Amino acid sequence: MLFVWNPIGVCVDTARRLRGIVGGGRLERPGVYRICKRFSFEAAHFLRGLPEGHKCARLHGHSYSVEIVLWARELTGPGFVVDFADLKALKTHLDASLDHTTLNDVLDVEPTSENLAKWLYEWCAVGLALPETARVEAVRVSETDTTWAEYRPATFV
């Protein structure tokens, strides 16, 4: 018997027995619920190692937007992935640690949007009290309305 693993990590043969085959021979996969919440903060930074005259090498500020994406296969309570109110801990962390600071003084890495997204993802993974069914999928950071950087662990790529 041939066993093939599908992208959600379920053995195809096992999944067929558990879920059955739907029309056209497609494997029916369990659904996933996703939510997102956006927060904001104001901060300044400058980037090292850029060519002389690059505008980002000078101290400058942004109105940052941070989005956290969470997922779950099962809902809790009245039908939540996570109660949005329970994500207030992230806003508290942003306000206490990053708001109106120079990010170079706070982060132990160069304060690019990419590094900030990873830094915040790692904080969320341990700093948020989430139900056992919920996981942080990604954190997205925007410096402007037209740009963003996102960090997600390789298991979601």
Q: How far apart are CA 37 and CA 128, in angstroms?
A: 13
Q: Which of 59, 64, 42 is nearest to 115 (CA)?
A: 64
**Annotated catalytic residue, options 45, 124, 137, 143:** 143
Q: How far apart are CA 43 and CA 129, in angstroms?
A: 26
Catalytic pick among 54, 56, 60, 74: 56
Task: Name the active-site residue from 100, 110, 114, 122.
Answer: 100
Q: Reply yes or no on whether 100 is catalytic.
A: yes
Residues 6 or more apart in contact with residue 66 via CB below 8 angstroms = 38, 39, 40, 41, 90, 94, 120, 139, 140, 141, 142
Q: Which residue has the tokens 């949005």?
A: 84
CB 15 within 8 A of CB 29: yes
Residue 31 and residue 73 in contact, taking contact as beta carbons nearer than 8 Å: yes
Active site residues: 56, 100, 143
